[in-house]
Amino acid sequence: MSRTIAFIGLGIMGLPMAKNLQAAGFSVVGCNRSPERAEQLAEAGGRAAGSIAEAVQGADVIITMVPDSPDVREVLTADDGVLAHAEPGAYWIDASTIRPDVAGELADQAREAGLHPLDAPVSGGEQGAIDAALSIMVGGEQADFDAVGDVLGAVGKTVVRVGPSGSGQTVKAANQLIVAGNIQMLAEAVVFLEAYGVDTDSALEVLGGGLAGSKVLDQKGRKMLDRSFDPGFRLELHHKDMGIVTAAAREAGVVIPLAGAVAQLVAATVRQGDGGLDHSGLFKLVEQLSGTGDPTRG
Predicted structure pTM score: 0.92
Going from N- to C-terminal start, the domains of the chain cover 4-163, 170-290
pLDDT band at 294 (very low <50, low <70, confident <90, very high): low
**H helices, E strands: number in the chain:** 15, 9
Burial (CB count within 10 angstroms: exposed 0-12, middle 13-18, buried 19+), residue 57: middle
Instruction: Give me the catalytic one of 19, 172, 220, 284.
Output: 172
Which candidate, 32, 33, 30, places its Cα nearest to that of 45?
30
Number of residues in the chain: 298
Report the 3 state secondary structure along 252-269: HCCCCHHHHHHHHHHHHH
Note the pLDDT tens digit of each residue in 211-242: 999 999 999 999 999 999 999 899 999 999 99
Pick the CATH number of 4-163 from 3.40.50.720, 2.40.160.20, 2.40.50.140, 3.20.20.100: 3.40.50.720
* Alpha helices in 57-148, H assignment, sequence order: 69-77, 82-85, 100-112, 125-130, 142-147
Q: What is the dihedral of CA 84, 75, 249, 256, to 10 degrees?
A: 160
For 4, list phi and psi in degrees, rounded to 5: -95, 130
Query: pLDDT tens digits for 160-202?
Result: 999 999 999 999 999 999 999 999 999 999 999 999 999 999 9
- Which CATH code is given to the segment(s) 170-290? 1.10.1040.10
Strands in the chain per DSSP E: 4-8, 27-31, 47-48, 61-64, 91-94, 116-119, 122-123, 134-139, 156-163
Residue-wise pLDDT for 267-287, tens only, equals 999 999 999 999 999 999 999
* Residue 137: strand pairing partners: 160
Contact 99, 118 (CB under 8 A): no
- Report the alpha-carbon distance of residue 25 to residue 41 in Å, rounded: 14
Average pLDDT, the chain: 96
**Can 172 be counted among the known catalytic residues?**
yes
